[in-house]
Amino acid sequence: MTSAPQQLSPGFPTVVKRKIASISLGWVLVAFTEAAAYTTLGASIARQQGPAWVLVTAVVAIAVTVVVSRSGYITGAGLAADLYRAVGETFSRAKLSWFTESNRALAGDVAGRTIPSLMSVPAHQLQTLLVAPLLPVLLVIGVWIVGDGWLAAVVAVLIGVAFAAQVAAQRSLARADAARGRSEHEAHESAFEFLDHLELLRSALGNRHAVDRLTDRWEAQAQALRNTNRATATAAFLATAVSVLPVLGIILWGAVTGGYDSSVLLATAILALRASAPLEAFALAALSVNDLRHAVTRLGTIVNAPDLPEPSRPGAIRGHVIEFERLSHSPVLSDVSAVLPEGSTVIVEGPTGSGKSTLLSLLLRFDDPDEGRVLLGGADLRDMHHAQLMEHVAYVPQHPDVFSGTLAENIRLGDPAASDDAVIDAARRAALGEVIARSPLGVHQEAGHRGANLSGGERQRVAIARALLKNAPVLVLDEATSALDAQAERTVVESIAATRGTVVLVTHRSSEIWQPSLRITLSGESDRPHA
């Protein structure tokens, strides 16, 4: 009478599977005890027996239902905690190259909406998925016990007809709801895109048209929701109409055959009416069933995100020489080899799309190369724990993250134990002196939401100050000074040079200010370094 519940992804925690299995058995027991109670009631009416056994089975059924329902709510709360823990663990080990705009939107949707919605599965959805299809089958057996095989056959056939009608309605509902799910996800992606590029959209299209693309997505989402609501209404109406079919069948069969006592017909009619009732509940819950299928799929995509395996015993680092050994990484890098001496300044250059940022991402182990190795201090990055690698490397991207909070809090991410004096020193070395001076709060002034109080160049300087405070032996810069004026860039370059660490950078500006000791020129073919 329903398809089997969506199988949990292999990536789901074992404890989640166990909890779902346990509460599922509980709801199966609820169906059996309720069917037993109704069958006992029917037998008591048909055979004009006393109410003692009816009361006993009713009390047992009620007690089991109460216990399982309460357990469902408790399990739901624990389920959410387990899933959040699983998602958090996935985020901590997933390769950073997986976090595309689409997957980031999906991750936000899963954390903010999907997991909270799954809290209701043990107490509500499982009841519909298990009790609704199982109870009619058990009550048909009850009709056979109370009446006879012919009455049971009549009820079974008419429930089958009702089920066929439900299948047709639900197939239409499933199509409508799948379209709703797609449009909802596209709307989430467009919202992220709009927020990330708000300034560009307003400057290019104006305030009125900046939201056109997002509005179109919202309108498509609203239309898909209206289509789903119409399909849901049709399914609900059909469920109500067909729920009386088994009862009418018993009445007509009794009238045609004339061989049944009125008490038997009354008893079997009660059983038939209860047997058809879950069909309506199932139809009304069809939307939530489809939502559950989408939710499990989305959650499975997150918890099965590709990760970068870490060794049980990390390799030892001896010095900070960086080696690229015949690196190839689809679609841009092919046979890249280079040795970057400790303390060198290395410019990675090449035309757009030649793989400059990809090479830096491999050095940071955001991903593993398709072929070849990246070594730091003689150790393959794949033989190092991520935390171990991050102790030796600092990274500043072109569009750095600046979090809500003060400048000091953002800079101190480079070294949480740093004193205020050390933070201020790093800020000044990153050419933030004027920014500090413009507020009486100095380095403790608010950066604003995602650095809204700062210009693009100031956000870059905050990230550079963070890296200077970390004082890692290797500094990786990906267009990290693109928004700086000439004076600020000079100050930053001098501060970085004074650290005497290894610097690997990509820049579209003149690289002479960096006085590089090595260049890696990428062309998309076999790439080699040159001095």
Cα 50 to chain centroid, rounded: 56
Task: Report the pLDDT averaged over residues 499-519.
Answer: 91
Is the pLDDT higher at 33 or at 118?
A: 33
Of 454, 450, 459, 455, the C-alpha closest to 480 is: 459
Q: What percent of the chain stands above pLDDT 70?
A: 93
CB neighbour list of residue 405: distance below 8 Å, 6 or more residues apart: 446, 447
pLDDT at position 5 is: 40
Task: Report the pLDDT averaged over residues 399-416.
Answer: 94
Q: Give the strand pairing for 333-340 and 474-478.
A: unpaired
Is the pLDDT higher at 127 or at 9?
A: 127
pLDDT in tens, 216-274: 778 888 888 888 888 778 777 777 777 788 888 888 888 888 878 889 999 999 999 88
243's enclosing H/E stretch is: none
Cis upstream peptide for 331 (omega within 30°): yes
pLDDT at position 286 is: 58
Q: Would you say residue 127 has pLDDT above 60?
A: yes
pLDDT in tens, 208-217: 777 777 787 7
pLDDT at position 526 is: 47
- CATH number belonging to domain 322-530: 3.40.50.300
- Strand order through the sheet with 345-349: 393-396, 474-478, 502-506, 345-349, 518-521, 529-530
- CATH number belonging to domain 14-303: 1.20.1560.10
pLDDT at position 524 is: 60
pLDDT in tens, 77-100: 888 888 898 888 888 888 888 888
* One-letter identity of residue 4: A
Q: Which residue has the tokens 């693009």?
A: 456
Q: Are 267 and 39 in contact (CB under 8 A)?
A: no
Task: Report the pLDDT averaged over residues 22-49.
Answer: 93
Cα 85 to chain centroid, rounded: 12
Task: Report the pLDDT averaged over residues 489-512.
Answer: 92
Q: Would you say residue 158 has pLDDT above 60?
A: yes
Q: Would you say residue 196 has pLDDT above 80?
A: no
Task: Report the pLDDT averaged over residues 317-329.
Answer: 92
Q: Would you say residue 531 has pLDDT above 50?
A: no
Q: Where are the domains of the chain?
A: 14-303, 322-530
pLDDT in tens, 480-496: 999 999 999 999 999 99
Report H helices in 47-123: 52-93, 101-109, 115-118
pLDDT at position 31 is: 94
Q: Using CB atoms within 10 Å of the CB of residue 316, give its burial: 0 to 12 exposed, 13 to 18 middle, 19+ buried.
A: exposed
pLDDT in tens, 427-438: 999 999 999 999
In this prediction, residue 117 has a pLDDT band, given cuts at 50, 70 and 90, of: confident
pLDDT at position 277 is: 80
Q: Would you say residue 457 has pLDDT above 70?
A: yes
> Rounded CA gap, 274 and 496, in Å?
78
Averaged confidence pLDDT in the chain:
86
Is the pLDDT higher at 195 or at 464?
A: 464
SS (H, E, C) 305-325: CCECCCCCCCCCCCCCCEEEE
Q: Give the strand pairing for 393-396 and 379-380.
A: unpaired
pLDDT at position 178 is: 75
Q: Would you say residue 13 has pLDDT above 70?
A: no
